Structure 1
Amino acid sequence: MSSSPELTEKIHFLDISSKLPGYKQCWSPNTLKTRLLLNAKGIPYTEQYVSYPDIAPLLKSYGVPPNESGFAFTLPAIYHPETLQDVVPGGKIMTESVAIAHHLDKLYPHTVVQAFPEPKDQSEALWKEAEHLLRAIVFPAEDGKGFRLLMPRIPLILDDRGSEHFIRTRTASHAQHLSPLRWGSENPEDDWTALRPAVLAYIKFHESTRSKAIAAGLGEEGPFLWGSKVTMGDIYLASILVWFRSAGDAMLDRFLAIGEKDEPASRKSDGEAVWEKSPIRSVWDAFGKEGWLEAVGEPREIPVGNAE
C-alpha cells in the first residue's frame, strides 16, 4: 500500500449503501470512480456506507453546498479535514469524483496509477472523450440506453430506506412520474439492441486510442487507453462494469461479450467487426488481476454534525 508521511489520518470515503454482500456492496458507477482510484493507487483508506436519505443531512452538516444541477446532495465524497481545510467549503468534505481524483493525484503524485497522468492536458482531454462515449452507453442525458436495463435493478439492491427514497425521488424527477422500476422496455431485448451501437463505438475508440498512445510512447503494451498506463477513462469503464455486475452476473457477462467472436450471431449485424477478446473485457480482467475490484477500506463512521 502507498502512504504519504505528511498525512496523519487516512482518507475517509463515503459510499452509498446496498444489500449486496461484502466488497460487492459498492454498486454505483459514480462512487466506484473514487473507490477504484483509491484501490489502484494503493492508498489506505477508511470507508462508510450511507443510506440514500442520510446523504443530504450528513453532507449539509459539514458545510457542503448543494450541487448546481441534478440532485442537490450526492456521493462520492471524501472526508479529510487535514488536506481540505482551505480547499472546499466547510473545509472537511469534498464531493464530485473528478475533483476528488485531482485531489488524490496531488496528494499522491508518485503512485504508479494517476487518474490524470502526464501530459495532463492530453489525459484530461482523453477523459472528456471517454466520459462522453461511456455516458452514451448508460445515461439518459446522453441518450444512453443502458439505464433502461440497470435503473429498474437499483431499488432491488438498496437497503430498505434507500430503496424507498430512490423510488420516490426518481419517480418525482421523471418526466412522466414513472417509477424507476418501470423504466425498462417491456422486452429487455429491445434495450440490449439499442445499447449495442454505443458499446461498439466505445470499443473502436478504445482500440484506436490505445494503439495511437502506445505508438506515441504514452504507455507500453497493455489493455488500457494508454496501453500500460491507467487513466480516469479506464477507471470509469471499470465502474460501469461493476454496475452491470451489481444487476447480476448474467448482465455483466452479456455486456462483456458484445462484439466478441463467441457472441451469439443472432445479436450481431451483418458486416460487424468482431474481436477475439473485447478491449472492454481486457480492462475488466486487468482490474480483477490487480485486486482493485475487491479491495475495501477499514470501516469507520463520522456522524451528522461532527464538528471536530
Structure 2
Amino acid sequence: MSTPEFSEKIHLLDISSKLPGYKQCWSPNTLKTRLLLNAKGIPYTEQYVSYPDIAPLLKSYGVPPNESGYTFTLPAIYHPETLKDVVPGGKVMTESTAIAHHLDKLYPSTAVQAFPEPKDKSEALWKDSEHLLRAIVFPAEQGKGFRLLMPKIPLILDDRGSEYFIRTRAATHPEHLSPLKWGSENPEDDWRAIRASVFAYIKFHESTRSDAIASGYGQDGPFLWGNKVTMGDIYLASILVWFRSGGEEMLNRFLAIGEKDEPAARKSDGEQVWEKSPIRGVWEAFGREGWLEAVGEPREIPSGSA
C-alpha cells in the first residue's frame, strides 16, 4: 500500500546532548518516538533542544503544561498539517504514547504499528510492558536503575542543559541532592538491586511471546509478539539506548543479565539462566534493521510567537 504524502515532513523535537552523531539521542522518552519513526520508515526532520529551552518553545506553540511530573517535556512532534484540529495550538503534539497513536493513524499500512491488531490486546500489552520496564529504572515504580543512570545524564548534556538538569532535579529530590550523587557509594549495590526486576521482565517477555505465537498474533521472532514489533519492544530498545549513553560497558552489562556467559560473581544462587537473553534478542533485531542509527534531516523551527 502507498504511504501518505504531506507538504512537510514530521518534525521531531529531541533533547540536546554532547554525544556524537546518532548517539546524541539518549532519552528513553524521546527515543520512543524516534525509534517508531525509524521502524515505520517515515521520513522526518529533527531538532535538538537544550533543557532550559524546552518550556519556552512548547509554550510558544500553545502546548498546555503536563498535569503531573515536570511541566513541559519532550518528545514532541511539530506537524501543523495533521495536528491543526487535534491538539491545543494545532501545531505541536507531546507525550510519546499520544504521538504513537497519531503516527499509527497517519501511517496505518506500514509494516510496524505501535499498536497492531487486535488493538485492545496490544494496548493492554503496552501497559503491562511499560510497567515492568519502568519497574527496572524509575523510582516512581520502585525501580532502582535510576541510581545507575541519573548520575550519567549531566555528564552527557550540553553545558546549559547540564546546569538546568542538576538544578531542577536537585530541587525535587527529598534531600535536594544533585543527580550526580544519586547513585550508591558502591555501584555494585545498584546493579544487584535491579536484577529481580530485569528477571521479571525477561520472564514476561518469554511468556508473552510464546502466547502470542500460539494465539496467532505473530510468528516466530524476537519481539513480544514474535515477529511483530509493538510499542513495548520500542520502549525496551529506548531504555537500552539510555544505558548505552552511560557507556558501552553499561549496556553490555545490562544485556548480559541472566545469560549463561554472565560472570559468575554477579549471579545469585537459584537464578534462571538463558543462553541468550530475550532482551539481547530485541536489541540485536533493532540493530539489524538499522533503526538504532537512523536520524532525521536537521531543521530548526522558530518560536511559535516569533
In structure 2, what is the Cα distance between the partners aligned to 1:143 and 1:226?
27
SS in 2 for 1:236: helix
In structure 2, what is the Cα distance between the partners aligned to 1:17 and 1:251?
21
Q: Give yes or no for contact 1:3–1:44 (8 Å, CA) kept in 2.
A: no
| RMSD (Å) for aligned C-alpha atoms | 1.0
In structure 2, what is the Cα distance between the partners aligned to 1:208 and 1:272?
17
Matches within 5 A, 1:144-159: 144-159=143-158
Q: Give yes or no for contact 1:152–1:181 (8 Å, CA) kept in 2.
A: yes
List per-residue Cα deviations over 1:204-255 (Å, max 9, x = no partner). Answer: 0000100110011100100000000000000000000000000000000000
In structure 2, what is the Cα distance between the partners aligned to 1:88 and 1:6?
21
The verdict on how the C-alpha distance between 1:5 and 1:212 changes in structure 2, with shifts beyond 3 A counting, is closer
- Does structure 1 residue 50 correspond to structure 2 residue 49? yes
C-alpha deviation, 1:268, in angstroms? 1.2
Q: Give yes or no for contact 1:261–1:275 (8 Å, CA) kept in 2.
A: yes
Map of 1:111 onto structure 2: 110
The verdict on how the C-alpha distance between 1:11 and 1:3 changes in structure 2, with shifts beyond 3 A counting, is farther
List per-residue Cα deviations over 1:166-217 (Å, max 9, x = no partner). Answer: 0000000111101000000000000000011000100000001001100111
Task: Give every structure 1 segment of 4 or more consecutive aligned residues whose post-TM-superposition deviation is greater than 3 Å.
Answer: 2-6
Percent of aligned positions with the same letter in both sequences? 85
TM-score, normalised by the number of residues in structure 2: 0.99
In structure 2, what is the Cα distance between the partners aligned to 1:274 and 1:305?
53
C-alpha deviation, 1:5, in angstroms? 3.5
C-alpha deviation, 1:272, in angstroms? 1.2
TM-score, normalised by the number of residues in structure 1: 0.98
C-alpha deviation, 1:269, in angstroms? 1.5
- Does structure 1 residue 27 correspond to structure 2 residue 29? no
In structure 2, what is the Cα distance between the partners aligned to 1:265 and 1:6?
54
Map of 1:237 onto structure 2: 236
> Which consecutive residues of structure 2, in runs of 5 or more, have no partner in the other structure?
none
Q: Give yes or no for contact 2:3–2:109 (8 Å, CA) kept in 1.
A: no
Map of 1:282 onto structure 2: 281
SS in 2 for 1:94: strand
Map of 2:297 onto structure 1: 298
What amino acid is aligned across from residue 215 of structure 1 in structure 2?
A
Q: Give yes or no for contact 1:223–1:286 (8 Å, CA) kept in 2.
A: yes
In structure 2, what is the Cα distance between the partners aligned to 1:249 and 1:166?
23
Map of 2:262 onto structure 1: 263
The verdict on how the C-alpha distance between 1:40 and 1:3 changes in structure 2, with shifts beyond 3 A counting, is farther
C-alpha deviation, 1:3, in angstroms? 7.0
SS in 1 for 2:87: coil
Q: Give yes or no for contact 1:3–1:43 (8 Å, CA) kept in 2.
A: no
Map of 1:126 onto structure 2: 125
List per-residue Cα deviations over 1:52-95 (Å, max 9, x = no partner). Answer: 00000000000000000111000000000000000000000000
In structure 2, what is the Cα distance between the partners aligned to 1:20 and 1:268?
32
What amino acid is aligned across from residue 173 of structure 1 in structure 2?
T
Map of 1:185 onto structure 2: 184
In structure 2, what is the Cα distance between the partners aligned to 1:208 and 1:282?
15
Aligned residues: 306
What amino acid is aligned across from residue 211 of structure 1 in structure 2?
S
What amino acid is aligned across from residue 163 of structure 1 in structure 2?
S
C-alpha deviation, 1:4, in angstroms? 3.4
In structure 2, what is the Cα distance between the partners aligned to 1:297 and 1:180?
30
In structure 2, what is the Cα distance between the partners aligned to 1:304 and 1:248?
34
Q: Give yes or no for contact 2:4–2:106 (8 Å, CA) kept in 1.
A: no
- Does structure 1 residue 228 correspond to structure 2 residue 227? yes
Q: Give yes or no for contact 2:78–2:91 (8 Å, CA) kept in 1.
A: yes
What amino acid is aligned across from residue 201 of structure 1 in structure 2?
A
> Which consecutive residues of structure 1, in runs of 5 or more, have no partner in the other structure?
none
SS in 1 for 2:77: strand
C-alpha deviation, 1:261, in angstroms? 0.1
Map of 1:72 onto structure 2: 71
Q: Give yes or no for contact 2:3–2:110 (8 Å, CA) kept in 1.
A: no
Matches within 5 A, 1:76-87: 76-87=75-86
C-alpha deviation, 1:6, in angstroms? 4.2
Q: Give yes or no for contact 2:4–2:107 (8 Å, CA) kept in 1.
A: no
- Does structure 1 residue 166 correspond to structure 2 residue 177? no
SS in 1 for 2:73: coil
In structure 1, what is the Cα distance between the partners aligned to 2:290 and 2:220?
20
